[in-house]
A and B are shown apart, each in its own frame.
Chain A
Amino acid sequence: MSRFKKFLAGWSLRSSTPSYEPGDVIEVMVTGDAGGETVARIGDSTLRIEGAPDDALNTRVRVAVETWDETAHRGTGTYRETVGESAF
């Protein structure tokens, strides 16, 4: 990202329920793994992640989005790789 763009980033009213398109590859923090489901909560939207490792909770992973329901603010995606971990 250029220096100028860094100053302009975030000048908007961002939705609490962000949406993604099938085919998007995004990095997310894994926020839950209850009931055998690995999920990333992004704002108030939820992305269910298939194929994530057992210890994925609180790690940052790259996910390929497969489906997205704009109304329910829910989607599914496939785990690609782990790229980081929690700041704390």
Chain B
Amino acid sequence: MNDPQDDASADRVDDEPPDDPPDDASPDRVPPDGAPPNDARESAGDTVLVADGGVGDESAATNEPRIAFYGGKWASTIPLALFIVWAIFQSGVLGIGDTNGLVIGALVGTILGMFFARGDWKTYADTIFEGMTQRVAATAIVAWLWAGMFADTLQVGGFVEGLIFAADALNVGATTFPAAAFVLCGLLATGIGTGYGATIAFVTLFFPAGVLIGANPVLLFAAILSGAVFGDNLAPVSDTTIVSAVTQDADIGGVVASRFKYAIAAAIPAFAAYLIAGSIMSGVSLEGAVALRESANALGLVHLLSMGIVILTAVAGRHIVEAISWGLVVAVAFNLAFGLSSVSDILVFTVPEAGTFSSLPFVAVGETAGVGGSLYTGATGFFPLIVLTLLIVSMAQIMIRGGGFAAIQEFLLNSVATTVRRAELTMVLGTATINGMITINTAAEIAIAPYIARIGEKFNINGYRRANILDANTSALGYIFPWAGGVLVGYQVMVGPGGLGEQYGPEMVVNPIEVVPYVFHGWFLVIVFLLAAITGFGREYIPDRISEEVSRA
């Protein structure tokens, strides 16, 4: 509870320096985030706590805490700790993969933490704003909005149907179906950047066709999840790729290029494992080739080009906004030129009554007024995650200002991560553990990203390597366990109203616990990184090459 006797200074510990900005006025110092020069920041006077660079300001993490808590610095972890407990209970225990629910958890945690803050609660409240205005959050948000529009435009443009055509043309049979599903779902997920979206699309369209042909349902579902892991991990438009890059001061294109070696090292044995397991594990023999062919559309494969443009442009070092914009322009052009979608599939204003503008291709008459189309759904689909991200980074900022962040970091560096090998193992196992517990893997990734940055930097581990360690386990663990978001969305397609179970019978429903051992790419990716930490495979130090930083994220 707030103590009315506390004066304005009581919100800081006794031996803490006043609110002066850190003495970082070296003339040659270049803020990597394009922030205003130090003198401009200093002119903010009392508001310097808000304006001095947020989480990106190392002084905050290393100097004395600025918010004092009843219960000491560990109490500053209450908001984030409560959020993690909430996330585990909601997603892990109850199996509810609802991002909006996590938003409420973050709000409740933030409010609860305030009751433990000493002195004027204004400092605590200001820190929430300080956290939310960090560039790291803004960069991820911008990239998500663009990636969402691109992904949904590929979806309405028949990319999935194109991949189904490829499977049919290649004459994929029951034994090779899981391996093909892994590759094709991996391609889709790499194109649209969302493993969840790829899982839903493939479980809806590809899974029943495969089971009807005679593929083993458990193996097929696991193969689809493996494909989702691959794309979530590698795609430049993936939310987890974006978070991993921007939180480690690395450009997205460079991260994707440096990640390729790990992804391939896991994907090749995973592909082989699906071929072998596919020939061993039998399925339900039903004739389903007709169902497969019905939805196939060769033209949808043109979006391999849309996808390629984004990947190549990003790897070439162009800004991710530019790269995705080009991909989006090409995808829209393909959709319209080849009749893959209508204008209204991409953007539509729905009005209740016909009028002057209802003849326009992007104006439709419907029951309810509103805006729709792939651009709309793609961007708005990220809104819950954006709000959650803002809240998570503000809770992390409270922890930094309260000293909890530094305390945990100190413990890890002094007791666990004492050599570079142990530091990397700590990073791998830490990300794996937190992602194993929290269903929504992007949320887990954002929460642990500051630790990966700091532990890695303490051994001068390159930003690309840190981003790769962070994202591999985030992607992998998000699709393995029964409570993982990727598994839940696929399972929901099977058991939901009008789902596959209702349409085809119980053979089409897979128990999520059964798929755990067969998500080969997920497991292999974790193993690759454990081996990489032990052997030094792929390790790069900061002096080796400089990440191109978030200015080109």
Question: By the criterion CB–CB under 8 Å, are B460 and A31 in contact?
Answer: yes
Contact B460 A10 (CB under 8 A): no
Q: Separation in Å of the B326 CB from the closest CB of chain A?
A: 16
Interface locus among B95-103, B333-341, B362-370, B538-546: B538-546
The verdict on B504 contacting chain A, using a C-beta distance below 8 Å, is: no
User: Which of A12, A44, A82, A86 has the most chain B CB atoms inside 10 A of its CB?
Assistant: A86
Complex interface residues of chain B between 44 and 93 (CB less than 8 A to chain A)? 55-59, 61-62
Counting CB contacts under 8 A, is A27 at the interface? yes
Contact B23 A88 (CB under 8 A): no
Q: Point out the residues of chain B lying under 8 angstroms from A55, CB to CB.
A: 22-24, 26, 59
* Identity of the chain A residue whose Cβ is nearest the Cβ of B454 in the assembled complex: A88
Indicate whether A3 sits within 8 Å of B457 (C-beta atoms), given known contacts A10-B540, A82-B29, A88-B61.
no
Q: Tell me which residues across on chain A come within 8 A of B496, comparing CB atoms.
A: none
Decide yes or no whether A71 CB sits under 8 A from chain B. no
Contacts of A85 in B (CB 8 A): 24, 29, 31-32, 56-58
Contact present for A14 and B543 (CB under 8 Å): no
B54 nearest in chain A by CB position: A88
Name 17 extra pairs, CB < 8 A, besides A1-B545, A6-B257, A31-B460.
Answer: A9-B545, A10-B261, A10-B539, A12-B536, A18-B541, A20-B543, A42-B459, A42-B460, A43-B461, A54-B23, A55-B22, A60-B542, A82-B30, A88-B247, A88-B450, A88-B453, A88-B454
B511 part of interface (Cβ distance < 8 Å): no
Which residues of chain A (1-55) have a CB below 8 Å from chain B? Answer: 1, 3, 6-7, 9-16, 18, 20, 26-29, 31, 40-44, 53-55
Residues of B contacting A58 in the complex (Cβ-Cβ under 8 angstroms):
58, 61-62, 457
Q: How many A-B residue pairs have CB under 8 A?
A: 140
User: Is residue B303 contacting chain A, with contact meaning CB distance below 8 A?
Assistant: no
Closest chain A residue to B540, Cβ basis: A10
Q: Are B28 and A82 in contact (CB under 8 A)?
A: yes
Identify the A interface with B (CB < 8 A). Answer: 1, 3, 6-7, 9-16, 18, 20, 26-29, 31, 40-44, 53-55, 57-60, 81-88
Known A1-B545, A13-B535, A59-B29; contact A87-B540, beta-carbon cutoff 8 A? no
| A16 to B59 CA separation, bound complex (whole angstroms) | 28
Which positions in B face A, CB cutoff 8 Å? 22-24, 26, 28-32, 55-59, 61-62, 247-249, 253-254, 257-258, 260-261, 312, 315-316, 419-421, 449-450, 453-454, 457-461, 463-465, 535-546, 549
The answer to whether B458 touches A31, judged by C-beta atoms less than 8 angstroms apart, is yes
Nearest CB of chain A from residue B167's CB, rounded to whole Å? 28
Measured between alpha carbons, how far is A6 from B258 in the docked complex, in Å? 6
B454 pairs with A29, CB closer than 8 A: no
Contacts of B537 in A (CB 8 A): 12-14
In the assembled complex, the CB of A61 is this many whole angstroms from the nearest CB of chain B, namely: 10
B316 interface neighbour in A3, A29, A88, Cβ under 8 Å: A3
Q: Which of B24, B457, B535, B546 interacts with A87 by CB under 8 Å?
A: B457
The 7 closest A-B CB pairs, nearest first, are A6-B257, A58-B58, A26-B543, A14-B539, A87-B453, A87-B249, A14-B536
Query: How near does chain B come to A14, taking the closest CB pair, in angstroms?
Result: 4
Q: Do B459 and A41 touch (CB < 8 A)?
A: yes
Q: Which residues of A contact B58 (CB under 8 A)?
A: 57-59, 85-86, 88
Q: Report how far A83 CA is from B536 CA in the complex, Å.
A: 27
User: A87 to B463, Cβ gap below 8 A?
Assistant: yes
Known contacts A27-B542, A87-B56; is-contact A40 B460 (Cβ 8 Å): yes
In Å, the complex CA distance between A5 and B458 comes to: 27
Q: A29-B457, A58-B457 are in contact. Are A42 and B542 (CB under 8 A)?
A: yes
Whole-angstrom distance between the Cβ of B21 and the nearest chain A Cβ:
11
Q: B248 near A7 (CB under 8 angstroms)?
A: no
CB pair A7–B23 under 8 Å, yes or no, is no
CA distance A27 to B249 in the complex (A): 15
Q: For B62, what are the chain A residues with a Cβ–Cβ distance below 8 Å?
A: 57-58
Determine if A11 and B257 form an interchain contact, defined as CB atoms under 8 angstroms apart.
Answer: no
Instruction: Give 25 A-B contacts (CB < 8 Å), ordered by A residue.
Output: A3-B312, A6-B258, A6-B315, A9-B540, A10-B258, A11-B261, A14-B537, A29-B458, A29-B542, A31-B459, A42-B541, A43-B541, A55-B22, A55-B59, A58-B61, A59-B24, A60-B542, A83-B30, A85-B24, A85-B29, A86-B56, A86-B61, A86-B454, A87-B247, A88-B454
